[in-house]
Protein backbone atom coordinates (compact mmCIF):
# COMPACT_ATOMS: atom_id res chain seq x y z
CA UNK A 1 0.00 0.00 0.00
CA UNK A 2 1.21 3.51 -0.82
CA UNK A 3 -0.02 7.08 -0.44
CA UNK A 4 1.50 10.10 -2.20
CA UNK A 5 0.57 13.44 -0.65
CA UNK A 6 1.34 17.02 -1.64
CA UNK A 7 1.11 19.54 1.19
CA UNK A 8 0.96 23.18 0.18
CA UNK A 9 0.17 26.63 1.44
CA UNK A 10 1.79 29.89 2.39
CA UNK A 11 4.70 30.42 4.76
CA UNK A 12 3.58 30.72 8.37
CA UNK A 13 0.41 28.64 8.00
CA UNK A 14 1.78 25.44 9.54
CA UNK A 15 2.36 23.19 6.53
CA UNK A 16 5.59 21.84 7.96
CA UNK A 17 3.83 21.00 11.24
CA UNK A 18 1.31 18.93 9.28
CA UNK A 19 4.21 17.16 7.53
CA UNK A 20 5.89 16.52 10.89
CA UNK A 21 2.74 14.96 12.37
CA UNK A 22 2.16 12.72 9.35
CA UNK A 23 5.84 11.75 9.30
CA UNK A 24 5.81 10.92 13.02
CA UNK A 25 2.70 8.76 12.60
CA UNK A 26 4.19 6.99 9.58
CA UNK A 27 7.55 6.14 11.14
CA UNK A 28 6.00 5.18 14.47
CA UNK A 29 3.75 2.70 12.64
CA UNK A 30 6.47 1.09 10.55
CA UNK A 31 5.77 2.75 7.20
CA UNK A 32 8.46 3.78 4.77
CA UNK A 33 8.56 7.56 4.36
CA UNK A 34 10.20 9.93 1.91
CA UNK A 35 9.74 13.67 2.16
CA UNK A 36 10.89 16.46 -0.10
CA UNK A 37 10.37 20.05 0.96
CA UNK A 38 10.73 23.35 -0.83
CA UNK A 39 11.71 26.07 1.62
CA UNK A 40 12.84 28.71 -0.90
CA UNK A 41 9.89 31.01 -0.27
CA UNK A 42 8.93 29.73 3.15
CA UNK A 43 9.11 33.15 4.78
CA UNK A 44 5.72 34.37 5.94
CA UNK A 45 3.63 34.94 2.82
CA UNK A 46 5.71 32.91 0.34
CA UNK A 47 4.57 29.61 -1.14
CA UNK A 48 5.51 26.40 0.69
CA UNK A 49 5.05 22.84 -0.47
CA UNK A 50 6.17 19.41 0.56
CA UNK A 51 5.96 15.98 -1.08
CA UNK A 52 5.20 13.13 1.34
CA UNK A 53 5.39 9.55 0.14
CA UNK A 54 4.19 6.83 2.52
CA UNK A 55 4.32 3.13 1.76
CA UNK A 56 4.40 -0.34 3.25
CA UNK A 57 7.20 -1.07 0.75
CA UNK A 58 10.49 0.68 -0.02
CA UNK A 59 10.23 4.09 -1.73
CA UNK A 60 13.03 5.07 -4.08
CA UNK A 61 12.29 8.74 -4.80
CA UNK A 62 11.15 11.56 -2.57
CA UNK A 63 9.44 13.43 -5.43
CA UNK A 64 5.93 12.61 -6.57
CA UNK A 65 5.62 12.33 -10.36
CA UNK A 66 3.04 14.45 -12.18
CA UNK A 67 -0.49 13.01 -12.22
CA UNK A 68 0.17 10.50 -9.44
CA UNK A 69 -0.54 12.23 -6.09
CA UNK A 70 -3.37 10.63 -4.18
CA UNK A 71 -4.01 13.70 -2.10
CA UNK A 72 -3.33 17.44 -2.16
CA UNK A 73 -3.70 18.97 1.30
CA UNK A 74 -3.69 22.76 1.11
CA UNK A 75 -3.95 25.56 3.63
CA UNK A 76 -4.92 27.95 0.83
CA UNK A 77 -7.28 27.49 -2.19
CA UNK A 78 -5.09 29.05 -4.88
CA UNK A 79 -2.14 26.96 -3.73
CA UNK A 80 -4.25 23.79 -4.05
CA UNK A 81 -4.96 24.69 -7.68
CA UNK A 82 -1.25 25.30 -8.32
CA UNK A 83 -0.51 21.60 -7.66
CA UNK A 84 -3.34 20.01 -9.67
CA UNK A 85 -0.82 18.80 -12.27
CA UNK A 86 0.48 16.39 -9.60
CA UNK A 87 -2.97 15.07 -8.67
CA UNK A 88 -3.97 11.67 -10.05
CA UNK A 89 -7.30 11.23 -11.85
CA UNK A 90 -8.66 9.52 -8.71
CA UNK A 91 -7.03 11.94 -6.28
CA UNK A 92 -8.67 14.21 -3.73
CA UNK A 93 -8.04 17.85 -2.83
CA UNK A 94 -8.58 18.85 0.81
CA UNK A 95 -8.25 22.60 1.20
CA UNK A 96 -9.14 25.68 3.16
CA UNK A 97 -11.83 27.66 1.38
CA UNK A 98 -10.54 30.98 2.69
CA UNK A 99 -7.99 32.76 0.49
CA UNK A 100 -4.77 34.18 1.88
CA UNK A 101 -4.52 37.25 -0.34
CA UNK A 102 -0.80 37.93 -0.52
CA UNK A 103 -0.35 39.22 -4.08
CA UNK A 104 -1.89 42.24 -5.84
CA UNK A 105 -3.59 40.28 -8.65
CA UNK A 106 -5.01 37.50 -6.48
CA UNK A 107 -7.96 35.85 -8.28
CA UNK A 108 -11.53 36.46 -7.11
CA UNK A 109 -12.69 34.03 -4.41
CA UNK A 110 -15.70 33.02 -6.54
CA UNK A 111 -13.37 32.01 -9.40
CA UNK A 112 -11.25 29.85 -7.09
CA UNK A 113 -14.30 28.19 -5.54
CA UNK A 114 -15.70 27.51 -9.01
CA UNK A 115 -12.50 25.80 -10.10
CA UNK A 116 -12.41 23.73 -6.92
CA UNK A 117 -16.08 22.75 -7.26
CA UNK A 118 -15.35 21.44 -10.77
CA UNK A 119 -12.89 18.85 -9.42
CA UNK A 120 -14.13 15.26 -9.11
CA UNK A 121 -13.15 14.93 -5.42
CA UNK A 122 -12.69 17.98 -3.21
CA UNK A 123 -13.28 18.88 0.43
CA UNK A 124 -13.17 22.63 1.02
CA UNK A 125 -14.05 24.37 4.30
CA UNK A 126 -13.19 27.54 6.19
CA UNK A 127 -10.65 25.97 8.54
CA UNK A 128 -9.73 29.33 10.03
CA UNK A 129 -13.33 29.87 11.16
CA UNK A 130 -13.51 26.36 12.64
CA UNK A 131 -10.29 27.08 14.58
CA UNK A 132 -11.60 30.47 15.77
CA UNK A 133 -14.84 28.81 16.93
CA UNK A 134 -12.64 26.57 19.10
CA UNK A 135 -10.85 29.67 20.48
CA UNK A 136 -7.67 28.32 18.91
CA UNK A 137 -6.97 30.29 15.70
CA UNK A 138 -3.38 29.05 15.47
CA UNK A 139 -4.55 25.45 15.11
CA UNK A 140 -6.23 25.82 11.69
CA UNK A 141 -3.55 23.52 10.26
CA UNK A 142 -4.65 20.72 12.59
CA UNK A 143 -8.27 21.32 11.52
CA UNK A 144 -7.07 20.77 7.95
CA UNK A 145 -5.17 17.62 8.92
CA UNK A 146 -8.32 16.30 10.59
CA UNK A 147 -10.32 16.98 7.42
CA UNK A 148 -7.69 15.11 5.39
CA UNK A 149 -7.30 12.19 7.83
CA UNK A 150 -10.05 10.00 6.31
CA UNK A 151 -8.44 10.39 2.88
CA UNK A 152 -4.90 9.55 4.00
CA UNK A 153 -6.00 5.95 4.43
CA UNK A 154 -2.62 4.36 5.06
CA UNK A 155 -2.71 5.87 8.58
CA UNK A 156 -5.61 5.59 10.98
CA UNK A 157 -7.13 8.63 12.69
CA UNK A 158 -5.96 7.41 16.11
CA UNK A 159 -2.39 7.03 14.82
CA UNK A 160 -2.44 10.68 13.70
CA UNK A 161 -3.87 11.74 17.09
CA UNK A 162 -1.01 9.91 18.85
CA UNK A 163 1.50 11.69 16.61
CA UNK A 164 -0.03 15.08 17.47
CA UNK A 165 0.51 14.28 21.16
CA UNK A 166 4.16 13.39 20.51
CA UNK A 167 4.93 16.35 18.24
CA UNK A 168 3.35 19.01 20.47
CA UNK A 169 4.10 17.53 23.92
CA UNK A 170 7.19 19.66 24.44
CA UNK A 171 4.96 22.76 24.21
CA UNK A 172 2.77 21.68 27.13
CA UNK A 173 -0.56 19.98 27.68
CA UNK A 174 -2.64 23.04 26.76
CA UNK A 175 -1.07 23.13 23.28
CA UNK A 176 -1.53 19.37 22.86
CA UNK A 177 -5.18 19.64 23.89
CA UNK A 178 -5.84 22.59 21.55
CA UNK A 179 -4.32 20.74 18.60
CA UNK A 180 -6.21 17.52 19.35
CA UNK A 181 -9.47 19.47 19.64
CA UNK A 182 -8.77 21.16 16.29
CA UNK A 183 -7.89 17.84 14.65
CA UNK A 184 -11.08 16.21 15.98
CA UNK A 185 -13.15 19.16 14.72
CA UNK A 186 -11.64 18.68 11.27
CA UNK A 187 -12.43 14.97 11.30
CA UNK A 188 -16.02 15.74 12.35
CA UNK A 189 -16.40 18.45 9.68
CA UNK A 190 -15.12 16.12 6.93
CA UNK A 191 -17.55 13.40 8.00
CA UNK A 192 -20.45 15.81 7.37
CA UNK A 193 -19.33 16.46 3.78
Per-residue pLDDT of 86-120, as tens digits, reads 999 999 999 999 998 888 898 998 999 999 999 99
pTM score, whole prediction: 0.95
- State how many domains the chain has: 1
Give the domain CATH number at 97: 3.40.920.10
Distance of CA 184 to CAs 35, 131, 179, Å? 25, 11, 9
Q: How many CA atoms lie within 13 A of 152 on its CB side?
A: 28
Per-residue pLDDT of 39-72, as tens digits, reads 545 555 678 889 999 999 999 999 999 999 999 9
Q: Which domain holds residue 16?
A: 2-191
Amino acid sequence: MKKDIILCGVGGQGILSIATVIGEAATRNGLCLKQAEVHGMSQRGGDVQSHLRLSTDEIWSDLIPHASADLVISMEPMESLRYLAWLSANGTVVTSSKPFVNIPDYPAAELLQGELAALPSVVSMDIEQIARDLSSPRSANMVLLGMAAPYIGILQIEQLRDAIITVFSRKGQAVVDANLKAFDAGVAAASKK
